[in-house]
Amino acid sequence: MNNPSSDQKPTESSASGGLFFLFGLAVVAVFTWFAFTSISPAHLPINVSSAPQSKGIDQLIWLVHLLMAVLFIGWLLYFFYTIFRFRKERNPKADYVGVRSHASTWLEGIVAIIEGVLLVGFAIPIWANASYNFPQEKDSTVIKVIAQQFKWNGWYTSINGKFAKQDRHFVSPDNPFGLDKTDPNFKDNFFVSSDLVVPINKPVLAYVSSLDVIHCFKVNPLRVTQDAIPGMVIPAHFTPAQLGTYQINCAQLCGNAHYAMHGTLKVVSAEDYAKWVADHTKSGGGAGGGYE
């Protein structure tokens, strides 16, 4: 044996080793099953956007998880076979060199190549679509989404599609967005709070900003997420392709009522949308009465 000088062996308990090993195997079998039902893109919520990036997001999530599953199952199979085969009771003398093959280097190379393919083939083009290929304003429903503690303001225009001017000098308690009420476009603008409405099958161009702290505009079924950062106006776009009402999440801690800062985004038909806009322009009579 290779342990002649074992004057004491405080750590060994060979008899219970095998039992413990079996117990471990059972635990891990359960664990593996658990892992693969948990970390599965099958749990993704419905995707109702037809913007070029949104299907890609789901595809990429599936492909990455496929890669993860293959690697993880491979590791686990190897891991348990190794623990079984090279336990002390079965293999009393260790091999000084161990694995002689270089298969692992190839494996690492293959993983790197797959990551590269996912990067170039999916992640970068999807991102370019989401953050760069914006629809033209004239072809889109343009909304300014202004977050504040703890609600979502939607700033719309009715006929001419032009927004009134904003300046911080106009900011007052009854004019938190600092609108220039003398601007001729002001009459065509209106505001809604927390419940936004957009028409179906037309790109939505949302200019996302915030009045106070950082929020994040996130609508899961539309696969759109954009931080709302004070001092910045950041565009985001999506194309709703299914009627319905979808929740707007605030996805950035924004204060003590962060958990309750949800809004809704209602997707309606083009006719309903036109009616909704007309109603708001008429009843609001300009932005002054529209918000709060």
Partner 1 sequence: MQASTHTDSHSHDAHGGHDHHEPGFWQKYIFSTDHKVIGIQYGITSLMFLFFGFLLMLCMRWQMANPGQPIPVVGSWLHAILGDEMVAKDAQGRVGVMMPDLYNSFGAMHGTIMVFLAIVPLAFGAFGNFVTPLQIGACDMTFPRINMVSYQCYFLGGVLMLASFFIPGGAAKSGWTSYSPLATVAGGGHHPDGQTFWLIGMVALITSSLLGAVNFITTIIQLRAKGLTWMRMPFFVWAQFVTGFLLLLAFPPLEAAGVLQLADNMLGTSFFLPTGLVVSGQPMHVSGGGSPLLWQHLFWFLGHPEVYVLILPGMGIVTEIIANNTRKPIWGYRSLVYAIMGIGFLSFIVWAHHMYLTGMGTKISTFFQTTTMMISIPSVIILTALFISLWGGSMRFNTPMLFALAFLPMFGVGGLTGLPLGFNASDIFLHDTYYVIAHFHYVVAPGTIFALFAGIYYWYPKATGRMMNEFWGRVHFGLSFIFMNLVFMPMFIQGMEGMSRRMYDGGASYAAAAGSTGLGAFVIGLNKNITYAAFGLGLAQIPFIINFFWSITKGKKVTSDNPWHATTLEWQTPTPPPHGNFDKEIEVFRGPYEYSVPGAPTDYTTQNEPDKQAPLTHGNPVRS
Residues in 169-188 at the binding interface with partner 1, rule: CB under 8 A? 171-173, 176-178
Question: Among 22, 128, 270, 278, which residue interacts with partner 1 (rule: CB under 8 A)?
Answer: 128
Residue reference for tokens 């503690």: 149
- Any idea which residue has 């202004």 for tokens? 146
By beta-carbon proximity to partner 1, the closer residue of 74 and 285 is 74
Sheet strands (E) in 158-223: 189-193, 195-199, 204-210, 215-219
Q: Which of 200, 59, 196, 204 is nearest to 134 (CA)?
A: 204
The neighbour count for residue 158, using CB atoms within 10 Å, is 18
33 binds partner 1 (CB under 8 A): no
Name residues contacting partner 1, limited to 235-264 (CB under 8 A): 244-247, 249-260, 262, 264
Give the span between the Cα atoms of 122 and 118, in whole angstroms: 5
Tokens of 132: 């760069």
Minimum gap (Å) between residue 117 Cβ and partner 1: 11
Closest residue by Cα to residue 198 from 152, 140, 134, 278: 140
Scanning 136-144, 182-190, 197-205, 210-218 for contacts with partner 1 by CB under 8 A, the matching segment is: 210-218
Residue 19 binds partner 1 (CB under 8 A): no
Which CB, 87 or 202, lies closer to partner 1? Answer: 87
**Which residue, 37 or 201, is less far from partner 1 as judged by CB?**
37
Smallest distance from partner 1 to CB 170, Å: 10
Using CB under 8 A as the binding rule, whether residue 138 contacts partner 1 is answered as no
40 binds partner 1, rule: CB under 8 A:
yes
Site track 53-92 with partner 1 (rule: CB under 8 A), x = hit: x--xxx-xx--xx-xx--xx--xx-xx--xx--xxx--xx
Query: Is residue 136 at the binding interface for partner 1, with CB under 8 A as the rule?
Result: no
CA distance 95 to 81: 16
Number of residues near partner 1 (by CB under 8 A): 124
What is the signed CA dihedral for 13, 18, 21, 27, rounded to 10 degrees? -120
Count Cα neighbours of 179 within 13 Å in the Cβ-side half-sphere: 26
Q: Which stretch binds partner 1 (CB under 8 A): 28-36, 157-165, 185-193, 277-285?
A: 28-36
232 lies in the site for partner 1, by CB under 8 A: yes
Answer yes or no whether residue 94 interacts with partner 1 by CB under 8 A: yes
Task: Based on the shown chain and the rule CB under 8 A, indicate whether residue 22 belongs to the binding site for partner 1.
Answer: no
- The token pair at 287 is 């932005």
CB 168 within 8 A of CB 239: no
Residue 161 binding partner 1, by CB under 8 A: no
Instruction: Give the binding range for partner 1 (CB under 8 A) out of 35-43, 136-144, 154-162, 283-291.
Output: 35-43
- 248: DSSP letter: E
Closest CA to 154 of 197, 192, 190: 192
